Amino acid sequence: MTTLALLAALIWLGLLCAHGRFWQSGPELAAALPPAAPAVAVVIPARDEAETIGAVLASLRGQDYPGDLRIIVVDDRSTDATAAIAAGLDDPRIRVLHGSETPPGWSGKLWAVAQGIAAAREAAPAPEFLLLCDADIVHAPGHLSTLVAAAERGDTDLVSEMVALHCESLAERALVPAFVYFFQLLYPFAKVCDPLSAKAAAAAGGTMLLRPRALDRIGGIAAVRGALIDDVALAGAVKRGGRIWLGHTRAARSLRRYPDFADLWRMIARTAYVQLRFSPLLLGGTVLGMALVWLLGPALALFGGGAARLLGLLIWAMMAASYLPTLARFGRFPAWALAMPAIAAFYMAATIGSALDHHRGRGVLWKGRAYRGGGA
């Protein structure tokens, strides 16, 4: 057991010292104005978003961006009043597009995005940037200007940000900061932003500013049409021939709420097995790896003895320390860091649950659609 504890401690040292500073709460763009104001088209795929679409569009209408700004809401066959609310704003900059049925091989969201992009590029003036954002994200007035300034400054093809997530219920306070932490662990932002780290690519789908030239280079949205983790897939395709940037922002926030632990379980399980490419072998390796990295050290610290207990305490201390910057971003009490083993166990259990759902034929469920290893 001491040997395993030593291995886990060495893994943690490697993560802290040589894994792209994943534990840091950054980078974050400073508010800025672009040197010019190129035309921007915002594309919002919206399926049953009546609760949030009004606030989202109000925030986009309130942007202080000095250039041409158009907003296309693609109503993805909603069963509620999403389209009516968007159309009722009576703003010439807003166009509501009624999406057609999803073709075979496409995910529903990406088909909606593809239709929105096509409509945006047919209009004049042709957009020099596309802002792809979710229908539950509200934006501060200067957010678009800051995104365009960042893209222009670095000649960047894709600028994406992890927006501020809702974190008020007990379930959210316990688990939402860890979602961001684990995302940074999987995709260290420093490596994603580094053009020399060719294989490190990711984006946060809530806010993605994209150059149409990059989209043309990869063959359009069709290049990732069946991807269920579409933001990461798009970032990977764009980075193969261009530059991408990923960071945090406080200038945009999600309105999506997860009031109960069951809601967060479903959110995690929706894509956890997708991330493992629906592979039982990868699932087994992931569960064993998570047990070694997240559970062994605290277990030895509580129940072990001698050198094994000391190593367990060291592992738990490194684990907790790495979580503190994320907790600070969310304004959470630092003592939550000590709960990281239990939090990791919840994520591990949800990952197993995701695999069980898939093998029972339930697939990935989202917005009334089922996805089973491909498009829907």
Q: What's the CATH code, domain 40-254? A: 3.90.550.10
pLDDT, position 228: 87
Quick one: tokens of 171?
């379930």
pLDDT value for 371: 55
Distance CA 40, CA 24 (A): 31
User: Whole-angstrom Cα distance, residue 268 to residue 263?
Assistant: 9
In this predicted structure, what is the pLDDT of residue 366? 61
pLDDT recorded at residue 375: 39
Angle (nearest 5°) at CA 19 between 16 and 23: 55
User: How much is the pLDDT for 374?
Assistant: 42
Phi-psi region of 248 (alpha: psi -120 to 50; beta: other; left: phi over 0): beta
Amino acid at 120: A
What residues does 43 pair with on adjacent strands? 72, 132
User: Whole-angstrom Cα distance, residue 209 to residue 74?
Assistant: 17
Beta strands in 99-139 (DSSP E): 129-133, 137-139
End-to-end CA distance of the chain: 46
What is the structure's pLDDT at 25?
86
Which ranges in 91-229 belong to alpha helices (H)? Answer: 108-122, 143-154, 170-186, 189-193, 212-218
How is the chain split into domains, by residue range? 2-21+261-358, 40-254
Q: What is the pTM of this model?
A: 0.94
Whether the Cβ atoms of residue 171 and residue 346 lie closer than 8 Å to each other: no
Could you list the pLDDT tens digit for every one of the 376 residues in the chain?
899 999 999 999 999 999 999 999 889 999 999 998 999 999 999 999 999 999 999 999 999 999 999 999 999 999 999 999 999 998 999 999 999 999 999 999 999 999 999 999 999 899 999 999 999 999 999 999 999 999 999 999 999 999 999 999 999 999 999 999 999 999 999 999 999 998 999 999 999 999 999 999 999 999 999 998 999 999 999 999 999 999 999 999 999 999 999 999 999 998 899 899 899 999 999 999 999 999 999 999 999 999 999 999 999 999 999 999 999 999 999 999 999 999 999 999 999 999 998 888 876 666 666 555 443 4
Which H or E run contains 248? strand 244-254
Could you tell me if 106 and 93 are in contact, meaning their C-beta atoms sit under 8 angstroms apart?
no
